[in-house]
Structures are given as C-alpha cells and as structure tokens.
C-alpha cells in the first residue's frame, strides 16, 4: 500500500457533524455544533488528523488524548480548571496534553486543523 502526504486543505475522507448538547453533561453554555472532516486515522485507530469547525459555546474538554491544534479562523479559548484562560486566534498553534482538565470556550465560530493521539488503552 502506497503512503502519501495528507493535505488538510484537501477534501476530507469522511465528514461528520454533531450537536454537543446531545452528549449528556458535556455542554456548560451555548449550543455548539461541530463539523469534522477526518483526513487520516491510523490502522490501530489511535492517531487521527483532520479539520474541525465549532459554533460558539463552552464545554468540558475531552480527556484521554494528546491533541495538537492549529487555528485557521475564529476565536476560542481553553480554560484550565484553576481558571487560567488562554485565547487562540488564526495562526495560533498549541498542544492539549492528556491530563488537561478544563473547558473549550468557542467565542466566534472556529476552524482548526488537529492531530489527536488517543492515550486510552
């Protein structure tokens, strides 16, 4: 099987959408909707990469993963459980390490490129 470079600006292999309010106890405020374009999933399912867009809202961060993010557009923040807030806009890149506890706060509809490594065994 040939392996090629994956361009996250190309059309994704799989597109899905979800409304976070459909996930009990996840949303803190707003009614965030996510569009996810999955470009890559490793054979063992532990590494994935793609493009994510969210409408405004605040929710508990998903855990058991390391996630690298690059913000393409919009304005968002990560809020640590101790209250420390870090905002990110277009061109920002950051890593959310496994073990981070806190919240995503999407202030303006935000699009990001992401790479996730699932740490759950």
Domain span at residue 74?
14-118
Looking at the structure of the chain, the number of domains it has is 1
Closest CA to 6 of 44, 35, 37, 28: 37
pLDDT at 1 > cutoff 60? no
* pLDDT score at 50: 96
In a domain, 9, yes or no: no
What whole-number percentage of the chain has pLDDT above 70? Answer: 98
pLDDT at 116 > cutoff 80? yes
Q: What phi and psi values does residue 22 have, to the nearest 5 degrees? A: -80, -5
How much of the chain is helix, strand and coil, in % rounded to 5?
0, 60, 40
In a domain, 8, yes or no: no
In a domain, 4, yes or no: no
**CATH number, domain at 92?**
2.60.120.10
Other C-beta atoms closer than 10 Å to the C-beta of 6 total: 12
User: Tokens in use for 44?
Assistant: 């063992």
> pLDDT digit string (tens) for 59-84?
999 889 999 999 999 999 999 999 99
Instruction: Tell me if residue 21 falls in helix, strand or coil.
Output: helix
pLDDT at 33 > cutoff 70? yes
Encode burial over 48-71: b for 16+ CB neighbours within 10 A, e otherwise. bbbbbbbbbbbbbbeeebbbebbb
pTM listed for this prediction: 0.92
pLDDT at 89 > cutoff 90? yes
In a domain, 5, yes or no: no
Q: Which of 8-12, 86-90, 113-117 is least confident?
A: 8-12
């Amino acid at each position: 099987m040939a392996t090629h470079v994956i361009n996250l600006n190309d059309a994704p292999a799989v597109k899905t959408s979800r409304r976070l309010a459909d996930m009990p106890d996840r949303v803190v405020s707003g009614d965030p909707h996510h569009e996810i374009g999955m470009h890559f999933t490793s054979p063992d399912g532990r590494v994935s990469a793609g493009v994510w867009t969210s409408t405004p809202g605040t929710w508990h961060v998903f855990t058991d993963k390391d996630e690298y993010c690059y913000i393409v557009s919009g304005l968002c923040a990560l809020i640590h459980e101790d209250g420390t807030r870090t905002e990110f806009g277009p061109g920002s890149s950051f890593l959310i390490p496994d073990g981070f506890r806190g919240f995503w706060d999407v202030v303006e509809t935000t699009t990001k490129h992401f790479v996730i490594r699932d740490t759950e065994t």
